[in-house]
Amino acid sequence: MKDITMIIGANGQLGTEISAALRELTGADTVICTDLAAPTAALTEKGPYLQLDVTNANILAEAVSKYKVTHIYHLAALLSASGEKNPDLAWKVNMEGTLNVLNLARENKQIKQIYFPSSIAVFGPNTPIENTPQFSANDPTTMYGITKYTGELLCAYYNAKFGVDVRSLRYPGIISWKTPPGGGTTDYAVDTYHHAVNNEPYTCFLKKDTFLPMMYMPDAIKATFQLMNAPEDTLSTRLAYNLTAISFSPEEQAASIKKYMPDFQISYEPDFRQAIADSWPNSIDDSLARADWGWKPDFDLDAMSRDMLDNLSKLKHHENNLEAVNS
């Protein structure tokens, strides 16, 4: 039987790029993209797309059996800042959605593998802030972090109790140019690049010396596929793996952008997201991921800045040309 992958939350920042990368690798018709939102042209042009709600277990089960799905990437969630604005909805989507996916895999033996993304939001004020260890105090202070850590525990439980092959990574803040970020505390680190290519000053919602762990999208995709392809016996934990690439502050990122765009201006007006950032680690120890399945990132801060600015400038140029043709 051919492997068929369902991506849930395919319209999001990570979903868009994971879907495209998988379709490139395994063929467009082997990847079923799904999301609560209406499809984007990029996703429907290239393969099957279903609009569905992950909290509806029956609809999800129907889709899985109709398409004979063997692998699920369950990416749908409300992120940290959106979750603090609507904690009830964050609990519903993040917890009911995850349980629905895990129960499907438990009952339906055609499902071979599940991917569940976790986050550095699983850590809290009693976690060591520098080089946060893989196994540490997990006392998240946001609804998002609470649902992610509970999700991790459920994944480990479903693996031990029901043999579900579910794998997970604690992503740091993900930086990318193709799709905007979806309401997280690390979104500033994407907004800066957009403002820089538009020659606009940027007002950052975090203090200039707030360090957070981050990663460029190509590294996030590489890590995800590396984990999903790792032999089962190399995985020493079924909680999510700590994962990181770079740690920087808004001030350091601005200095990196200025190397390529010297006129870039930044100022700082911290809002409610500062408290969330303050409860998270400054940097992460991902040595277990490195030891178990060979994790190693490719991009440092300057390499990422160069690539982001280059791609966003090309995109802007392309959009300007389209506008000129259409006017």
Ligand X SMILES: NC(=O)c1ccc[n+]([C@@H]2O[C@H](COP(=O)([O-])OP(=O)(O)OC[C@H]3O[C@@H](n4cnc5c(N)ncnc54)[C@H](O)[C@@H]3O)[C@@H](O)[C@H]2O)c1
- Give the dihedral sign, CA 21/226/97/146: negative
Residue 136's nearest CA partner among 274, 249, 247, 288 is: 288
144 a catalytic residue: yes
**Shortest distance, position 320 Cβ to ligand X, whole Å:** 26
Query: Distance (Å, rounded) from C-alpha 6 to C-alpha 54?
Result: 12
Binding site for ligand X (CB under 6 A): 8-9, 11-15, 35-37, 53-55, 75-77, 79, 93, 97, 117, 119, 171, 173-174, 181-184, 186
**What is the closest distance, in whole angstroms, from the C-beta atom of residue 203 to ligand X in the complex?**
20
Minimum distance, C-beta of residue 39 to ligand X, in the bound complex (Å)? 10
Name the residue nearer to ligand X (CB basis): 21 or 261: 21
The least distance separating ligand X from the CB of residue 179, rounded to whole angstroms, comes to 7
Q: Which residue in 322, 185, 312 sits closest to 257, CA to CA?
A: 312
Q: Which is nearer to ligand X, 76 or 309 (CB)?
A: 76
Alpha helices (H) in the chain, listed in sequence order: 13-26, 41-45, 57-66, 80-85, 87-91, 97-107, 143-162, 188-197, 217-229, 250-260, 273-278, 287-293, 301-326
**Which residues are CB-neighbours of 321 under 8 A, at least 6 positions away?**
none
Point out the catalytic residue in the list 144, 158, 193, 241. Answer: 144
Q: How many CB atoms lie within 10 A of CB 161?
A: 9
Between 143 and 266, name the residue whose CB sits nearer to ligand X: 143
Q: Which is nearer to ligand X, 12 or 281 (CB)?
A: 12
> Is the Cβ of residue 20 or residue 54 nearer to ligand X in the bound state?
54
Residue 241 C-beta: closest distance to ligand X, Å? 13
The CA distance from 292 to 133, in Å, is: 15
Give catalytic residues, as residue numbers: 144
